[in-house]
Structure 1
Amino acid sequence: MAGADRTGGPSLSARFGREAVTTVLIATVLFLALPVVLTFVSSFAANWAGVLPRGFVTTANWEAVIFGDGIGANVAIGTSLFYSVGLALGGVVINLLAGVPIAYAIARYEFPGRDLLNVFAILPLAPGIILGIAFLRTYPKLSTSGVALIIGYSLLKAPYMVMAVQSSFESMDLQRIEESARSLGASWPRTFLTVIVPSARTGIVAGSIISWTLAAAEFNFSYIVYSKGTPPLSLFLFKNITNSSFLNAAAAVSVFFLLIAGVTIALQVIGHRSTGRET
Structure 2
Amino acid sequence: MRDRLIFAGQLLFTLLVAAFLVVPALLSIMAGVTENYFRGISSGVTLQWVVQVWELYADSILLSFVIAFATLTLTLLVGVPAAYALHVRGGRLSRLIEEIITLPLAIPGLAIALALLLTYGGFGTFRRSWLFILAGHVVFTMPFMVRSVMAVFATIDIRTLDEGAASLGASPWRRFVDVIVPNARPGILAGALMVVTLSLGEFNLTWMLHTPLTKTLPVGLADAYASMRLEVASAYTLIFFIMIVPLLVAMQLLAEREPKS
Q: TM-score range by the shorter chain?
A: 0.7 to 0.9
The answer (yes or no) to whether the contact 1:48–1:54 under 8 Å persists in 2 is no
Q: Which residue of 2 aligns with 1:4?
A: none
- 1:156 to partner: Cα distance: 0.6
Matches within 5 A, 1:137-156: 137-140=118-121, 141=123, 142-156=126-140
Give every structure 1 segment of 4 or more consecutive aligned residues whose post-TM-superposition deviation is greater than 6 Å: 269-273
Q: Does 1:257 align with 2:241?
A: yes
Q: Does 1:26 align with 2:33?
A: no
SS of 1:79's partner is helix
Q: Does 1:179 align with 2:160?
A: no
Q: Which residue of 1 aligns with 2:189?
A: 205
Report the RMSD for the aligned CA atoms in angstroms.
2.5
- 1:267 to partner: Cα distance: 4.3
Identical residues among aligned pairs (%): 28
CA offsets per residue over residues 175-215 of structure 1, 9 Å max, x none? Answer: 23223333444222112112211222222112112111111
SS of 1:112's partner is helix
Change (3 A) 1:115 1:144: same
Q: Which residue of 1 aligns with 2:82?
A: 102
The answer (yes or no) to whether the contact 1:201–1:272 under 8 Å persists in 2 is no
Q: Which residue of 2 aligns with 1:232?
A: 216
* Residue identity in the other structure for 1:18: F
Q: Which residue of 2 aligns with 1:44?
A: 33
Matches within 5 A, 1:58-77: 58-67=46-55, 76-77=56-57
Distance across 2 between alignment mates of 1:269 and 1:22? 25
Distance across 1 between alignment mates of 2:251 and 2:70? 14
Distance across 1 between alignment mates of 2:235 and 2:134? 26
- 1:90 to partner: Cα distance: 1.3
CA offsets per residue over residues 143-201 of structure 1, 9 Å max, x none? Answer: 22211110100101111111212112212221232233334442221121122112222
Q: Does 1:57 align with 2:39?
A: no
Higher relative CO (Cα under 8 Å, sequence separation at least 6) belongs to: 2
Change (3 A) 1:83 1:270: farther
Distance across 2 between alignment mates of 1:89 and 1:162? 17
Give the stretch that moved more between structures: 91-100 or 15-24.
15-24
Distance across 1 between alignment mates of 2:251 and 2:58? 21
The answer (yes or no) to whether the contact 1:144–1:228 under 8 Å persists in 2 is no
Q: Which residue of 1 aligns with 2:64?
A: 84
Q: Which residue of 2 aligns with 1:70?
A: none
Distance across 2 between alignment mates of 1:79 and 1:269? 29
- 1:266 to partner: Cα distance: 5.1
Q: Which residue of 1 aligns with 2:115?
A: 134
In structure 2, which of residues 151, 154, 165 is the aligned counterpart of residue 170 of structure 1? 154
Change (3 A) 1:114 1:254: same
- 1:16 to partner: Cα distance: 3.6
CA offsets per residue over residues 106-126 of structure 1, 9 Å max, x none? Answer: 333322312212211211121
Number of residues paired by the alignment? 257
Q: Which residue of 1 aligns with 2:92?
A: 112
* Residue identity in the other structure for 2:94: R
Give the stretch that moved more between structures: 220-229 or 122-131.
220-229
- 1:258 to partner: Cα distance: 1.8
CA offsets per residue over residues 88-143 of structure 1, 9 Å max, x none? Answer: 21111111111112222333332231221221121112111001111100111132
Rg: which structure is higher?
Answer: 1
TM-score (norm 1): 0.82
Q: Give structure 1 stretches of 5+ with no counterpart.
A: 1-9, 68-75
